[in-house]
A and B are shown apart, each in its own frame.
Chain A
Amino acid sequence: MSANNENVNVQLRVNGVDYPVTIGHGRNLVSVLRTEIGLTGTKEGCDDCECGACMVLLDGQPVNSCSYLAAQAEGRSITTVEGVMDGADLHPLQQNLLDAGGVQCGFCTPGMIISATALLARTPAPSEEEIRIGLSGNLCRCTGYTKIIEAVARTAAETAVPTSTLGR
């Protein structure tokens, strides 16, 4: 797998900050975010594009960063869960997840937040069915989903999501 060690210099724009990195061209985005850039909010779960723990926004669209080549993300805008917060304040969705009991072990939570944020940006007043479809690429083995869906619905009801935090 020497090809995967062939280094390329790329600049990745993550949460509005440019990070120059030298990486093997076969590196996936989640590993570069976590180990080169040090943003460990994004999780690696299944490494198979199934579980959604690695979800990030690429130009505002949710993408599984485990199956996306980091080098391919050059010039695009990447948003991780760290970029969803408003300064030191939790995003309303984060607060609602806590309040509704939508966080147990927490491993799926960053991916859930990314998918839900994208959903609310596109569909500010989603039906329960739309929330379920929006989160259908994110697995949670703790909560049974009900409280997560409740948190998203509560966020939608409370406020329009500030799209300025989406890294568009």
Chain B
Amino acid sequence: MTFTIATSVDDALAAMAGGARPVAGGSDLVVGARHGKAPLPDSLVAIDRLSELATIGHVDGRLRIGALATHAQLMEDPRVIASATGLADACALVGSPSTRNVGTIGGNVMNSSPAMDTGAPLLVLGADVELRSSTATRTLPIAELWTGPGRTVATADELCTAIVLPAARPRSGSAYVRLEYRRAMEIAVVGAGASVGLDEDGTIASISVALSAVAPTIIAVTGLDALVGRAIDDAVLVSLAEAAAAQATPISDLRATDGYRRHCVGVMARRAVEAAWRRALGENIAVPVNRALGIGAAR
């Protein structure tokens, strides 16, 4: 039963080895505890002052995002907007200014909500997650991190310390869009992230799509490799929308029925790919795509 404020990453990892749970902004942990979702852990270590985990920068050509980078920071970071635009789209949609000020990328990823906004763009961008404990550091593809709602492969003593993105290929673009009923303090009804890379002749060199809020975790749409080499046209967009809808396994809840989610996630997948494609062609679509293109809730 302790509360400590860590002054170094090693401090935090030692506390976690002793059973403490990390708290950064608290926007999932504290709200969850106050609503009986999960009691506040007996032992907490505050990690929000570890400035070494809040930096964003290029390391060996890859964009390394410290786990404490906030949504507010990421949505405006020029390096993120330039090479991971879909992630900026997602961060700009999270909550409100105040939640974006405290909410961190590490917390969002490790909270493992199937409806998280940052997950789909990170998956299509090929992100790796760095997990550190007092004894070891490992890096794994983000696709291998999530095992279910609120569950990850991380052990209790492992802290997410960074998200690492591969260098963006030339003529590529990414985007994240979501269906929403209001413009703030919203959770994705469904969402889709897309990353598109083009060959010099404009045909598809690479394409990936991931979906939010239609499965127990964020999922990647499979089978899209068949589209490589084709020009993006209506037939391609229809087929990938159908693939997204077919691979979704949504639930019905107070925000939408399963059938509505299944239909709309196809629409969102198509729109995410269209926006990513336009960005790959060099068009400057402002972050977030939801506002720039009028997707989601009208005012």
Q: Which residues of A contact B (CB under 8 A)?
A: 1-4, 6, 8, 25-26, 28, 47-50, 52, 55, 58, 61-64, 66-69, 71-72, 74, 115, 118-119, 132-134, 136-138
A-contacting residues, B15-54, CB 8 Å:
23, 25-27, 30-31, 33-35, 39-44, 46, 48
B2 on interface, CB distance cutoff 8 Å? yes
Instruction: Give complex CA distance A32, B2 in Å.
Output: 19
Query: 10 shortest A-B CB distances, which residue pairs?
Result: A137-B96, A136-B184, A25-B3, A3-B42, A67-B30, A62-B98, A6-B1, A61-B101, A26-B40, A67-B31
B185 on interface, CB distance cutoff 8 Å? yes
Contact between A62 and B185 (Cβ–Cβ < 8 Å)? no
Contact between A67 and B40 (Cβ–Cβ < 8 Å)? no
Instruction: Give complex CA distance A138, B44 in Å.
Output: 29
Choose among B23, B44, B46, B185 the residue that contacts A50 (Cβ–Cβ < 8 A).
B185
Choose among B26, B44, B102 the residue that contacts A25 (Cβ–Cβ < 8 A).
B44
Contact between A137 and B97 (Cβ–Cβ < 8 Å)? yes
Q: How far is the CB of A131 from chain B (nearest CB, A)?
A: 12
Q: How far is the CB of A77 from chain B (nearest CB, A)?
A: 14
B299 on interface, CB distance cutoff 8 Å? yes
Instruction: Give complex CA distance A3, B40 in Å.
Output: 8
Contact between A72 and B23 (Cβ–Cβ < 8 Å)? yes
Can you show 6 pairs from A to B with CB atoms below 8 A apart?
A: A3-B43, A28-B34, A49-B27, A64-B27, A68-B26, A132-B299
Q: How far is the CB of A63 from chain B (nearest CB, A)?
A: 5
Contacts of B42 in A (CB 8 A): 2-3
Choose among A3, A63, A74 the residue that contacts B5 (Cβ–Cβ < 8 A).
A74
Contact between B33 and A26 (Cβ–Cβ < 8 Å)? yes
A-contacting residues, B183-239, CB 8 Å:
183-185
Which of B96, B98, B102 is packed against the most chain A CB atoms within 10 Å? Answer: B98
Considering the complex, give the chain B residue whose CB is closest to the CB of A28.
B30
Instruction: Give complex CA distance A61, B101 in Å.
Output: 7
Known: A4-B40, A64-B102, A69-B23. 19 other contacts (CB 8 A): A3-B43, A6-B2, A25-B2, A28-B30, A47-B34, A49-B31, A49-B95, A50-B185, A52-B96, A55-B98, A63-B102, A67-B27, A67-B34, A68-B102, A69-B44, A72-B23, A115-B97, A136-B97, A137-B95
Choose among A3, A58, A115 the residue that contacts B1 (Cβ–Cβ < 8 A).
A3
Considering the complex, give the chain B residue whose CB is closest to the CB of A134.
B97
Instruction: Give complex CA distance A4, B95 in Å.
Output: 27
Contact between B46 and A69 (Cβ–Cβ < 8 Å)? yes
Contacts of B185 in A (CB 8 A): 50, 136-137
B99 on interface, CB distance cutoff 8 Å? yes
